[in-house]
Chain A
Amino acid sequence: MAASQRLAILGAGDVGRSVADLASEYGHEVVAIADSTTATVDPDGIDVADALDRKLGGEEIGDADPTAVFETDYDVLVEATPTTLGDADPGFTHAKRALETDHHVVLANKGPVAERYGELRELEADSAGSVRFEATVGGAIPVLSTIEDSTSQAVTAVRGVLNGTANFILTRMAAEGLDYEHVLAEAQDLGVAEADPTFDVDGTDAALKFVILANVLADGGFSLEDATVEGIQNVPGSALDLAAEDGRTIRLIGEATRDGVRVGPRLVPENGALAVTGTRNIVQIKTRNAGSLHSSGRGAGGPETATAVLSDVGRLPPL
């Protein structure tokens, strides 16, 4: 059993709430949770069920200021606010503040590790705390810990499908012979695609994850602007039909190596490992000495992503 840690959770969306909800099952205690307007803080452990009821009922999550989170006695900051590009704030500043005060940081927010990896690692080097970010890549799938276990120097490339929305759309287009707009509308009705699906379909979301992977392989040096990114908006049903005639299909595939990041629609064997269907994600980790490893699973969702956050928490040493 891993050491019990006191969690301060920033962000009360699907992931933040699920982390709070599941923390006790994994042996950890929640001492604070904040959304963008208020926080509830209790050094002896907050009443998670009450706080989540208030949040879901449309009330304020607590009566404290969100910054009160940093002033309580906690071990691990769980950063689960929405991903932002460019300066990656407020996520980056939250992580910085926690590290500068010698706390651990576990990220579900992709921004800081995709856009400012080097700076974050420098802050970590000067801190007693560590940074972990399994939840930023592939939801429930253990991608970064697999790379860590294989040792990142022995991994030559990572590629695969890391956006469930785009994969769902391509799967449905191929299976039903429907066009992009039609399937996108269906995906929105099902809640698979957000009201604004831009980052999912234009490849940005997948690119952020592969940028993070390239940063892990190369120990930094990449941000979103270094990635070559193409989305699926221009892939018509007829392209999928032609691919199928040849025993292939089209998937939004990302590739990360030490030399760069590329995301775009690619032809893959219809029955190949990377041609996962629906919202499923898959990664193929190419190793120098052990061939390829494949892991597939749910790449998004509150409880799924929360399990990745909590396994990171479990890997942290006591402070």
Chain B
Amino acid sequence: MGNEPIGGSDSDRDAAADSAVEATAETAVETNADTETDTDTDTDTETEAETETDGGVRPYTVRLELVDEPGELLRALSPISDNGGNLLSIHHERGNITPRGHIPVEVDLECPPDRFDDIVEGLRDAGVNVIQAGAERYGEEISIVFVGHLVENDLSETLSRIEAEAEAAVIDLSLAAPDGTDATSSARLRLAVDSGRTDAALESIRSIGADKDLTIVEPLLGGEA
């Protein structure tokens, strides 16, 4: 409730972010794909960790999901500099809304490779949802509730089909079977889905549900539900 931006603060912030973006948006296209082979860099930064790095920095791209509230962008960026990262560009994709109603933000930064994990951790500690960090994709998370004869209908096969057909990773599952596993039970699944694939994943899940005679309670996506 109430994450509608208030007054002009939002568009001000937006304009500021946009102007920072456009100049450098495409500069940091390199990924961390080659960091593992480049052991020299690692040792260099180890030895000089306390001082300035001698060029042993790498560009990284981090994709975040931000709540549409004033101050969120600033709050999300501070863990980056706090952990020794150097901001290169920010692409604040207003107008583009993730299925959970958040705003995707793409941040290009550079830092010593051994600092990168700290930055991601710092972001997470600050409550920022990290969708993608470097080459690792986390995608979007959705919750979904299944109802029916879940256990009798081979729950593990249902999960395998979700992973295979919906291309979703099951992050966790809670099962509630108050009347025993041979009666109607409910399960809540948290799924990780690649960005932009949520609709397709839900469609596959609907057809799996129809096959197995399960009632599916889907999340209401998009906008402020």
Contacts and interface: CB of A to CB of B under 8 A. Distances in A.
Interface stretch (B20-28, B29-37, B56-64, B176-184): B176-184
> Main secondary structure on chain B at its contact with chain A?
strand
B224 A273 contact: yes
A239 interface: yes
A239 B186 CA distance: 5
A243 B220 contact: no
B71 interface: no
A237 B4 CA distance: 32
A154 B140 CA distance: 29
B220 A268 contact: yes
Interface stretch (A5-13, A18-26, A284-292): A284-292
B224 A243 contact: no
B145 A272 contact: no
B127 interface: no
Given A239-B217, A273-B224, A234 B188 contact: no
A242 B188 CA distance: 6
Given A245-B188, A272-B1, A291-B4, A239 B147 contact: yes
Contacts of A292: 4, 223-224
A230 to B, nearest CB: 8
Interface stretch (A28-36, A127-135, A246-254): A246-254
A243 B218 CA distance: 11
B143 A267 contact: yes
A208 interface: no
Given A243-B217, A248-B143, 7 more contacts: A235-B215, A239-B176, A241-B186, A246-B190, A264-B217, A269-B1, A273-B225
Interface in A249-289: 250, 253, 264-269, 271-274, 284, 286
A251 B1 CA distance: 15
Nearest to A251: B220
B143 A272 contact: no
Contact of A267 (B145, B147, B178, B185): B145
B219 interface: yes
Contacts of B184: 236
B187 interface: yes
A238 B145 CA distance: 10
A267 B217 contact: yes
Interface residues of B, number: 25
Given A253-B220, A267-B218, A272-B225, A236 B143 contact: no
A242 B1 contact: no
Contacts of A286: 223
Interface in B118-176: 143-145, 147-148, 174, 176
Interface of B: 1, 4, 143-145, 147-148, 174, 176-178, 184-188, 190, 215, 217-220, 223-225
A170 to B, nearest CB: 11
Nearest to B219: A267
Contacts of B225: 268-269, 272-274
B224 A242 contact: no
**Which 9 A-B pairs have CB atoms at the shortest separation, nearest pair first?**
A238-B176, A242-B188, A239-B186, A238-B186, A234-B215, A266-B220, A267-B219, A268-B225, A272-B225
With a 10 A CB-CB cut-off, give which of B1, B178, B220 has the most chain A CB atoms: B220
B223 A284 contact: yes
Interface string A135-154: 00000000000000000000
A235 B174 contact: no
B218 A266 contact: yes
Contacts of A267: 143-145, 217-220
A243 B188 CA distance: 7
A272 B3 CA distance: 10
A221 B174 CA distance: 42
Contacts of A246: 143, 188, 190
Contact of B178 (A230, A237, A268, A291): A237
B145 A250 contact: yes
Contacts of B215: 230, 234-235, 265
Contacts of B223: 284, 286, 292
Nearest to B190: A246
8 contacts: A234-B148, A235-B147, A236-B184, A242-B186, A243-B217, A253-B220, A274-B225, A286-B223
Contact of B187 (A242, A250, A264, A269): A242
Contacts of B190: 246
A264 B218 CA distance: 9
Interface in A88-129: none
